[in-house]
Amino acid sequence: MSSISPLFEEFSSSKNILNLIETELCDGILQLTQNSDWEEKSNISLKNLLGFPIGKNYPGFFNLVQPSDLTAFLDAVGKISSERGGKINFILRAKHANGKRLHLQLIGQRLKADSTDLLFFIKDQTAKIEQEDFTFQCNLASKIGYWNIDLETQKPYWSRVTRLIHEVPDDFQPDLETAIDFYKDGHSKELIQRVIKNALEKGEPYDVELILLTYNKKEKWVRAIGLPEFADGKCIRLYGTFQDIHQRKINRLKLQAEQAKFKNAIEGTNLGTWEWNVQTGEAVFNERWAEITGYTLAELAPISIETWTKLAHPEDLEVSSKKLQDCFEKKTDFYECEARMKHKDGHWVWVYDRGKVFSWTEEGKPLMMFGTHQDITETKNEIEQQAIFIQQAPTSIAMFDKEMNYLSASSKWIRDYGLTGKKIIGNSFFKTFPKSNQNWQEIFEDSLKGNSRKKDEEKLVYENGEIQWIKWECKPWYNKQGNIGGALIYTQDITKVKETAEQLKISMSAFQRNFENAGIGMAIVSTEGKWKNVNDRLCEMIGYSREELLKLTFQDITHPEDLNADLELLYETIRGERQTYQIEKRYFHKNGEEIHALLSVSAVRDTEDKLLYFISQIIDITDLKHAQAQIEKLLQTSEDQNERLKNFAHIVSHNLRSHSGGMVQLLEFLEIESPEYFQNELVKLLKQASDNLKETIEHLTQIVNVNLQSSYPKKALNLYDVVEKALQSLQMASQKSSVKLINEVDPALKVMAIPAYLDSIVLNFLTNGIKYQDPEKDSFVKVKTINHSENIEIQFEDNGLGIDLERYSNSLFGMYKTFHKHDDSRGVGLYITKNQIEAMGGKIEVESKVTVGTIFKVFLNKN
């Protein structure tokens, strides 16, 4: 409500009106504000409707709407925005958090002519639209459409199914005259004209079967039902249904023709009779027995038991043989079986075959049987029609015969019980659910007596161990004669409901255990700030007993300086502007000491978003606060010491270099003025010492500069260009030393580095490769790269003298450490290079073998 109220206050002086609209007349509210683009605000009800309660990240209403719908909607919004008026009534398809598609109706308008705000009331029309779609699918399946004629405009309206039956194109607009012209000339057109006239003039409804000529000139039998609507003695509207009955009519006409053809043959008894000598196979049938299958006895001669076996359906013959055997073994008194027989015309007819052994041999074997055949094709067709209805039913339902074998099952039943792709028709219920409750046999038998049973919870266990919970009802079904034909079972899968209830129970139990045994303070606080429940750790932390603490509010023990900040966040939570908050605050211990704590608060609301209470988690951070104070003191001391070291570094890099430089210049002047002095051995040593001091200070200056300049900004540098530049500067040295320099760096690679450092690193490794070449080899120095996910690896590979890493690995990058006897070796280059690499956030590794060569691996960041 808080996100809508500023706009609403311009619309009404009473918030109760908006509450009434939101709770009774709509399911949510959307506010649009036009700035550079449309900005949206959804209220809590709309978020809940879309499956995003408080605490769940809400992506925004527009991100959940189907793009094509959103485009059309914003076009319409833009139109009323530009016209400064008008209303919008729009249906949008939106995606629920669980993936389900919702149909939402938005009704809104601009509230003020000079305002950029629009307010939309949203109604969930999903059920209505799905019902309309379901109705259409049912009508389509049954081929039933509807129509009406507004007699003032003389314009008929045809539903989608009605248009499909007429086979008209999408843009076809009928009128009364063209609608009548669709009927076939002669009887059909004359009949429709007559019944319409009687309906309009006399108010007589009609129900007629006619031949229609479709738009594509196909003949089609239809059933037209019309109902007139009168007002003040005048017909103002004519409406009704329209059904495609072509196939049914054709079948009926064929059936009537067949019935007429065999009318004389089937008059008399309704039962066919048979007598069978089980031992010899001889059989006697009456004429009706043959007539059921369209034959005469003469046509079937010679008659024997094979006459039956030849006409019976192979699948039913197998069932019949088993039931006969049960009868022969006296497991049953009567033989009963429903079977199909091949009619003379090629189709199958159903017969109810019933018999009994009435004489036995001396050995106890069956001798003579007598029985009857009853034509039950119509009854079976009726059952099949019911089965088709059940298959299309949206609920979970199954139809069983008297032996609890499947006759039909809805698609939802198939899905709910994992039977997709399995053959169940004709199979027993107990074969489908072998571990079902054995009381089902009793329940089924009770339903055959005309009784109904139901249960709100039933547990099913499948062969694979899976458990399912259902709610069910079992009742009998009746045929046209009013006899019980079997049982219907309706079920509802409540497994998720049971699982949710169990999970909630477990969750509540786990929460209680965690609450009581938590290592931090936990409390449940009322909306007024009173402690409703506290755990032992909180009591220990604050110093109060549970009984004492429950008599206080959190305000009573909060430090006054921290109370306002806590209350401000709490009020935001109460208003629904936030679901949780976290704050550092101080409590007063019972003994008066200050307790520093980290407080985390979560709001708990009911399904209607009403605030129930708060859950608080309180962590004692008093020791941490004291430690932080000590750390701050240490950091200040470290900063002071670092500043002194910087000053010393400046002295080394500036003052000492100035003095040593002056000493060298004085000696150079002395050598120019009095060269004879430099013939003295002591003076020579003095000059050498001066040069060495200057070189040492230069090295120290470079090292100091690396540390002082490590904060210089890094740039994205093309590594190939840097290497190529170094190779060009070393070209003369390379040719002189006969060392081949190779650049295999990827030209596209860039690294983040300080330019001067990168130039120095590359030049130093190339120079070392030349300096420490193996004179007995065709020497080379190769630079190549490997592109890793986080950094670039630069390899400097040579086939020079190599380094004994077992001996020097710990001192390899130390200052003034040398590993070869070379006049130019000072042991400073690798030390400075390593410092430069690490100053840029990189690292260096080395692989080397004496007389084989060395690979230096430098890792620098990409970003």
Each residue of 613-671: pLDDT tens digit?
888 888 888 888 888 878 888 877 767 666 666 666 555 655 555 556 666 667 777 77
The answer to whether the CB of 156 falls within 8 A of the CB of 196 is no
> Quick one: pLDDT at residue 194?
93
> Quick one: pLDDT at residue 190?
92
Q: Where are the alpha helices (DSSP H) in 167-300?
A: 176-181, 187-202, 246-261, 263-266, 287-291, 297-300
Written as six digits, the tokens of 802 are 């190599």
Q: Distance between CA 373 and CA 247 in Å, rounded?
A: 30
Q: Distance between CA 147 and CA 340 in Å, rounded?
A: 42
Q: At what angle do helices 755-771 and 719-729 cross, to 10 degrees?
A: 50
Q: Distance between CA 368 and CA 779 in Å, rounded?
A: 113
H or E element: which one contains 267? none
> How deeply is 423 buried, as exposed, middle or buried, from its count of CB atoms within 10 A (0-12, 13-18, 19+)?
exposed
The answer to whether the CB of 721 falls within 8 A of the CB of 758 is no
CA dihedral (277, 281, 287, 290) positive or negative: positive
Question: Three-state DSSP class for 684?
Answer: helix
| Whole-model pTM over 0.75 | no
Q: Distance between CA 739 and CA 238 in Å, rounded?
A: 105
Cis geometry, peptide bond prior to residue 6 (ω within 30 degrees of 0) = no
Written as six digits, the tokens of 662 are 């002056």
H or E element: which one contains 840? none
Q: Distance between CA 758 and CA 861 in Å, rounded?
A: 12
The one-letter amino acid at 321:
S
> Quick one: pLDDT at residue 18?
56
Sheet holding 611-620, edge to edge: 531-534, 521-525, 611-620, 594-605, 580-588
Give Cα separations from 771 to 230, 698, 766, 814, 815 (angstroms): 114, 21, 9, 19, 18
Residues 6+ apart with CB under 8 A from 375: 270, 272, 292, 349, 350, 351
**Residues of the chain under the 70 pLDDT cut:** 1-24, 81-85, 111-115, 135, 139, 258-269, 435-438, 463, 481, 501-502, 504-514, 516-518, 638, 640-665, 683-685, 687-712, 809-811, 813-828
Q: Distance between CA 222 and CA 218 in Å, rounded?
A: 12
Written as six digits, the tokens of 219 are 């003949």
> Quick one: pLDDT at residue 692?
57
Residues 6+ apart with CB under 8 A from 300: 285, 290, 307
Q: Distance between CA 578 and CA 44 in Å, rounded?
A: 12
Question: Three-state DSSP class for 575?
Answer: coil
> Quick one: pLDDT at residue 648?
61
Q: Distance between CA 573 and CA 570 in Å, rounded?
A: 5
Question: What are the two backbone dihedrals, phi and then psi, of residue 620, each rounded to the nearest 5 degrees?
Answer: -75, 115
- pLDDT tens-digit map of 744-753: 999 989 998 8
H or E element: which one contains 821? none
Nearest CA to 40 out of 120, 110, 97 is that of 120
Nearest CA to 785 out of 863, 856, 713, 714 is that of 856
DSSP letter for each residue of 388-404? HHHHH-SSEEEEE-TTS
Residues 6+ apart with CB under 8 A from 178: none
